[in-house]
Amino acid sequence: MTKLKGILLTEGLHGMVSQVEGLAKALDLDYFHEKVELNKPWNFLPPSIMPKKKFIFKNKINKDFDVIVSCGRKSVVPSIYLKQKANKKVINIHIQNPKVNLENFDYVVAPDHDSIVGKNVLISKGAIHYLTLDEINQSKNYLQNKVDNEKKIITLILGGPTKYYSYSNENLINIFSKINKHLFEKNFQLIVIASNRTPAAAIQLAKEYFTKNRLIIENVDKQAYLSSLALSSYIIVTCDSSSMISEAAITGKPIYVAMLPPMRSDKRFQKFRNLFENLNIIRKLEDKLEIWNYEKLDETNRIAKEIKEKLF
């Protein structure tokens, strides 16, 4: 059977790419990415007030597609427009709350903490993503010869500053000091993983702060990210990244959330963390590390199965 062709629309950020690509893979689409670029002034405005017209976005899309998978504010109107103007039946799926009439989409995939409801809404626990256990395990050797295999490994995954959280030296050192205690007292080893949003200054501070038993991956490196998840006994993720916390949850390994003091109300993030705490997936990073078990979370394939049952 010929695969359906998919177009993936995002702003190009890791969390968004991970979600659309993960769903496309789980749906077994033959897909291609399109990084959405909006014309001014529309790139600054909410989709609810944008006309559903071609002049909104710059992209010239000539390839054929059967399914649109979009994520993020900038991709909302292009997804709606491309579906309306297609010369055949096209299914469009938006991930996250589009903040427009939900009936513009065949399906909306939204995390529980977005708190939206509708007959075409599929609710996920946390963010769906592109990681699979097979891919993680196949990448294990990538960093294996760079670490001491006799030591337990802590992986620290850094997000980056947002309007909710600051990556000040004070905030980072508060996190680093809790981790450093275990490196010295228990002779553990640390792998630090950067994301697209991680400031260079944060990486430099980690290099200066952690002087022993550490491997710091300075550039964005998916293979290193996957390998670190495979090698680690404990995973620590900064609280600003719900997407990377969700990704880590596929491993079944203990996940600690490194908290940063919020600069404004972060109720949506709190709701997400409360759900994952209730599922026994995460705990807040404090002074001790423990091993515990939980059911590995694979929401991407669960959601894809629901869509397949409705589509095919």
Over residues 160-181, mean pLDDT = 96
Q: How confident is the model at residue 220, as a pLDDT?
A: 92
pTM, 2 dp: 0.91
| DSSP letter (8 states) at residue 19 | H
Over residues 255-262, mean pLDDT = 97
- Render pLDDT for 188-217 as a digit per residue (tens, 0 to 9): 999 999 999 999 999 999 999 998 899 999
CA-nearest of 46, 45, 43, 24 to 33 is 24
Over residues 49-65, mean pLDDT = 95
Structure tokens at 293: 């078990």
Q: How confident is the model at residue 311, as a pLDDT?
A: 75
Single-letter amino acid, residue 36:
V
Domain with residues 133-284, CATH architecture: 3-Layer(aba) Sandwich (3.40)
Domain residue ranges of the chain, discontinuous segments joined by +? 5-125+300-311, 133-284
Provide CB contacts within 8 A for 298, sequence distance 6+: 250
Please tell me if the domain spanning 5-125+300-311 has the same topology as the one spanning 133-284. Answer: yes
Domain with residues 5-125+300-311, CATH architecture: 3-Layer(aba) Sandwich (3.40)
Task: Please give the mean pLDDT across all residues of the chain.
Answer: 95
Q: How confident is the model at residue 1, as a pLDDT?
A: 63
* Contact yes or no for 57/38 (Cβ under 8 A): yes
Over residues 255-269, mean pLDDT = 96
Q: How confident is the model at residue 130, as a pLDDT?
A: 95
How many other C-beta atoms can be found within 10 angstroms of the C-beta atom of residue 72?
22
Q: How confident is the model at residue 15, as a pLDDT?
A: 87
H or E segment at 154? strand 153-157
